[in-house]
Amino acid sequence: MFRRRKPDAEVDSPEPEAPSEPEPAGQAPPPPRFDRPLFAGFDDEDPEVARVDVEQRLEHGLERTRGGFVSRLRGYLGTEGEGPSWDDVEETLIAGDVGAALAMDVVEAARRRRDPGGAEAAVRAELASLLVPRDAGWEPRPSVAGGPAVVLIVGVNGTGKTTTIGKLAARYTAEGRTVLLAAADTFRAAAIDQLQIWADRAGVQVVSHAPGADPGAVVYDALDAAVARGADIVIADTAGRLHTKSNLMDELAKIRRIVDRRLPGAQPETLFVLDATTGQNGLQQAKAFHEAAGLTGVVLTKLDSTAKGGIVFAIEHDLGVPVRFVGVGEQAGDLLPFDPDAFVAALFA
């Protein structure tokens, strides 16, 4: 069934607004705007201004990581007149969630590099080299004529899946694209209601069935509705039980088959939502989902809540899958597109 937006009086508003002219009958209110546009080209925003704003938000969001393991890393790399303590550098990288084997490789490569900028420049360059190549202008695109772009959101419960979907919906709606959400996490209590709250805030519709319904049927109906309505993007929530349960992985594989059945030849984006505070444990979860669902990207949430931002390097190196977005705050505009160069620069700012 379709869940439409609630009347304006029922939608939470973060701040009271000045009285305005009433909306004409039958006309939906405009979608919410961010305090400051983050997207190049949106509302004629200067692309350079938007880029700088994103970099500033990223730098602010990485304060804990910069003051945590990166600060210790710089201390062990030594100052002028002092040589680096490579054993301590390796231990610090491990403590920062880079991972033991990877930390050893980074240190060995940095020592061989003999960078003219010194040990810090060598380690920084080696860390940057771990991040996989990506298209600078990546965004979900339809792969079937007349069909929508399809994004499957997967991950373990509690990592911020529903919040991420809401922020993505707000982002794409602000860019002028029509978004439809599919409430395919039918097993978790209140999952559908939580998704509806975010849909109301973003001004988008949700396709849902009753709790406990077949998730594949929800996705199929959402694709049907998207084609009929000319929607640009379908974002599907999925179940998030622990990755050790094989039935969850089977369900994800089934959803992929259903997408292909409804839109033959479609190539959905499958984004894994990972809580940055879970570190290496979260990486193991990502590996299990990658084996089952074939991840095409990672959304790293709560990066502002950890002092161990090294998990970004471990994810991209071990999975060979790019981080697409990072969450550095609670607001919709705090879900930032991931730029490898800007990320490394913000770490060592």
Dist. CA 331–CA 35, nearest whole Å? 9
Q: Which residue has the higher pLDDT, 203 or 117?
A: 203
Q: How many residues does the chain have?
A: 349
Q: What is the mean pLDDT of residues 5-30?
A: 40
Comparing 72-81, 142-151, 285-294, the range with the smallest average pLDDT is 72-81
Higher pLDDT, residue 236 or 138: 236
Contact yes or no for 77/84 (Cβ under 8 A) = yes
Q: What is the DSSP string of 163-195?
A: HHHHHHHHHHHHTT--EEEEE---SSTTHHHHH
Residue 34: pLDDT above 50?
A: no
Q: Which residue has the higher pLDDT, 264 or 242?
A: 264
Confidence check: pLDDT of 3 > 60 = no
For the ranges 9-23, 131-145, 149-163, 165-179, which has the lowest average pLDDT? Answer: 9-23
Surface-to-core class of residue 209, CB atoms within 10 Å of its CB (0-12 exposed, 13-18 middle, 19+ buried): middle
Mean pLDDT of 121-127: 93
Average pLDDT, the chain: 82
- Residue 239 has a pLDDT of 84
pLDDT of residue 304 exceeding 60, the answer is yes
Predicted TM-score of the model (pTM): 0.81
List, in order, residues 6 or more apart from 346 with CB less than 8 Å away.
55, 58, 59, 62, 66
Nearest to 218 by CA among 195, 197, 198, 249: 195
- Which range (40-44, 191-195, 261-265) has the least confidence? 40-44
pLDDT, residue 154, reads 92
Q: What is the pLDDT of residues 280-291, one digit of tens each?
A: 888 888 888 888
Distance CA 237, CA 160 (A): 11
Neighbouring C-beta atoms of residue 19, cutoff 10 Å: 6
Assigned token pair, 313: 């390097």
As a whole number of angstroms, the distance between CA 116 and CA 197 comes to 53
Give the Å distances, CA to CA, from 298 to 138, 155, 216: 13, 10, 22
Segment 237-254 mean pLDDT: 74
